[in-house]
């Protein structure tokens, strides 16, 4: 037993030295700040953390800028209140003009590091980020929903012209791997279609976003969603105009309920 243990320890040491040598020769390039860095070891075994999942892509300085969405938040839209005291409650916007979906929840605040990660995936074609970001999104899903209480997960679709330009739908990429997990709800990636190639929402105010996205979506096959409890997935929740428009179409098409799950949430 002693000889076997020594052999295993020696092999492990050689493996670690080999990894250190390779990393020294080929350091990682931080996708946020651009500097070279050596990724550290995973710190939270068994738990999902932004720092650990993004270790191959971001330096420790940049990954440390991540902020998780945490209570107190709006019971409905998931808006994180500036004050860090008190219980969850409805925000003024949801009291004034409720959205069609039931609840919306997100993994992190759309700022600094998480914004850089989403932009690299979405606009720079860094699809290797879909796996770690999708793992964080899955962790959020399991936190707020029981899989048996959801019938279908539907990604917000892109218009066919936008899809051809980008080459992928980032919302679908984030959840694609979930299909391999047993007892997870079906992914209805063709449940919704985007009929109008709307102008980008970036830079538009709340009302402008609502007008811009109006009538943009349609249900492709009503029988596919009829009577279903749906979780709608997108990368970022900004004003809620896009997911609200999708929710209205899904409920109008026969869905029993629509909840919203996003990777990031603006504050």
Phi-psi label, residue 184: left if phi above 0, alpha if psi -120 to 50, beta otherwise: beta
Q: DSSP per residue over 102-120, as a string?
A: S-EEEEEESSHHHHHHHHH
The whole-model pTM stands at 0.86
Give the model's pLDDT for residue 147: 95
| Helix, coil or strand: residue 260 | strand
Domain parsing of the chain, residue ranges: 1-65, 67-265
* CATH number given to 67-265: 3.40.50.2020
Residues 152-180: pLDDT tens digits?
999 999 999 999 999 999 999 999 999 88
Per-residue pLDDT, averaged over 109-118, amounts to 92
Give the model's pLDDT for residue 77: 97
| From 59-63, 129-133, 229-233, the region with the lowest mean pLDDT | 59-63
Q: Per-residue confidence at 14, pLDDT binned at 50, 70, 90? A: low
Say which residue the tokens 């796996």 belong to.
Answer: 131
Q: Per-residue confidence at 26, pLDDT binned at 50, 70, 90? A: low
Give the model's pLDDT for residue 40: 66
| Helix, coil or strand: residue 146 | coil
| Helix, coil or strand: residue 113 | helix
Cross-strand pairs, 182:
none
CA gap 250, 182 in Å, rounded: 25
């Amino acid at each position: 037993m002693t000889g076997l243990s020594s052999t295993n320890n020696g092999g492990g040491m050689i493996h670690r030295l080999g990894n250190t040598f390779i990393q020294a020769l080929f350091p990682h390039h931080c996708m946020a700040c651009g500097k070279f860095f050596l990724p550290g070891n995973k710190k939270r075994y068994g738990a999902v953390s932004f720092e650990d999942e993004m270790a191959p892509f971001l330096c420790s300085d940049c990954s440390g800028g991540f902020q998780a969405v945490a209570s107190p938040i709006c019971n409905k839209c998931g808006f994180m209140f500036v004050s860090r005291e008190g219980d969850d409650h409805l925000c003024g916007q949801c009291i004034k003009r409720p959205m069609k979906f039931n609840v919306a929840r997100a993994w992190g605040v759309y700022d600094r590091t998480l914004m850089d990660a989403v932009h690299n995936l979405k606009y720079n074609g860094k699809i290797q980020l879909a796996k770690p970001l999708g793992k964080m999104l899955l962790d959020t899903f399991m936190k707020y929903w029981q899989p048996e209480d959801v019938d279908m997960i539907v990604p917000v679709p892109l218009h066919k012209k936008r899809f051809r330009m980008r080459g992928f739908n980032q919302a679908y990429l984030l959840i694609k791997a979930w299909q391999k997990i047993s007892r997870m709800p079906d992914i209805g990636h063709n449940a919704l279609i985007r009929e109008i190639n709307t102008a980008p929402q970036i830079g538009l105010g709340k009302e402008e976003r609502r007008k811009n996205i109006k009538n943009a979506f349609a249900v492709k096959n009503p029988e596919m969603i009829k009577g279903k409890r749906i979780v709608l997935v997108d990368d970022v929740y900004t004003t809620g105009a896009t997911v609200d428009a999708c929710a209205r179409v899904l409920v109008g098409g026969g869905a029993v309920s629509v909840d919203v799950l996003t990777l990031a949430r603006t504050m």
